[in-house]
Amino acid sequence: MRLLVRLRLRAPLHIGSSTLGEEDTYDHAPSDTLFSALCHAYLGAFGVEALEELLGRFDSEDQRPPFLISSAFPYCGDTLFLPRPRLAPGEQTEETERGDRKLLKDTSWVSLEDLARLLRGEAPADIQANRDRLPRKELLPRVALDRESSNSAIYYVRRAAFPENGGLWTLLDVKDGTLEPALRQTFHLLGDTGLGGERTMGCGFFEPEFAEPPEALTRLLDGGSPYIALSRVSPTPDGAAEKVERYTLVESRGWMQSPTGLQRKRRSAWFFAEGSAFKEKVRGRLLDVTPQDGPGHPVYRYGFGMYLGAS
């Protein structure tokens, strides 16, 4: 069962991007970040034993994951945006004018309609027009106070602001239908507690809406090779060398959040980024990134693959 979940943001979003600088932010929610946030909300809703049982089903090589989730990408109105695919030059359209090629190269996001055109070998139509419909980044000052001297220091934080009728969307592929009510409840709780950082400043709150994926997206999800990743993918050591075609690597690092209140930097991990192209689907895995002086429970990052087909 596939569900398209719109996160109707009631405030800007701050998800720290360590690869771009400590003050920066993503304009989307990577799948490993979104999954971790959902796990914390699931813990709050159903308790420790329920979360441990759920994570055990992801961590088992003998079972398929009970659900898969994509990263959360921008949308505006009825327009869904997806990551620009990392297709080989020969697979991209020859009809695209030089100016459009430059626009395509410089953008991170393409609309679902333009993505379908590109995969058919046609020129994109809406790249320039859609730029004003994407989130914009704001730079805001913050003041830090020294605990001993009370001296102040200014620092700056970026956050992503979305159009009035915009937000994020993610795709859920629920393999175990009995989990659907719990997942809906978890999204509602996460919307009330907030996604990402700067929540004490009002960032990250949303209202989830659930619907069936549009037909145009469903067709791509059922398409064939090459496969374009809609999530961050962490393959097993023997799982990707011969299956990946063109890709971008991204490092995930940062601070863990624990119900014990202990804060530690989790171990970093590398992923194939959204938009990477594969000859075959790579299953992926749940990564253990527990720090050596951890909180007494495992810390995971989500690295299972979700894909659409380019043919």
Higher pLDDT, 247 or 297: 247
Task: Check whether 20 has a pLDDT greater than 50.
Answer: no
Task: Identify the pLDDT of residue 21.
Answer: 43
Phi and psi for 34 in degrees, rounded to 5? -65, -45
The region, left, alpha or beta by phi > 0 then psi within -120 to 50, assigned to residue 77 is: left
Token readout for 223 is 């398409």
Percent of the chain as helix, strand, coil, to the nearest 5:
25, 30, 45
Task: Identify the pLDDT of residue 99.
Answer: 56
The mean per-residue pLDDT over the stretch 102-122 comes to 85
Domain boundaries, the chain: 2-309
Mean pLDDT value across the chain: 87
Which residues, listed in sequence order, are joined to residue 255 by a DSSP beta bridge?
265
Task: Identify the pLDDT of residue 223.
Answer: 94
Global model pTM greater than 0.75: yes
Could you check whether the bond before residue 291 is cis, i.e. omega within 30 degrees of 0? no
3-class DSSP state of 246: strand
DSSP 8-state assignment for residue 181: H
- Residue 38 banded pLDDT, cuts 50, 70, 90: very high
Cβ atoms of 117 and 84 closer than 8 Å: no
How far is 73 from 111, CA to CA, in rounded Å?
11
Between strands 152-161 and 136-145, the pairing is antiparallel
pLDDT in tens, 255-298: 777 776 667 778 889 999 999 999 999 999 999 888 887 777 78
E strands within 146-274? 152-161, 166-174, 206-211, 227-229, 244-246, 249-255, 265-272
Tell which residue, 15, 6, 22, 29, has the closest CA to residue 78: 6
Percent of the chain's residues with pLDDT above 70: 91
Tell which residue, 253, 263, 268, 254, has the closest CA to residue 295: 263
How far is 269 from 285, CA to CA, in rounded Å?
12
- Following DSSP, what letter does each residue of 278-295 receive, concatenated? ESS---EEEEE---TT--
Taking each helix axis from N to C end, the angle separating 31-46 and 48-58, rounded to the nearest 10 degrees, works out to 140
Most confident of 7-16, 28-37, 137-146: 28-37
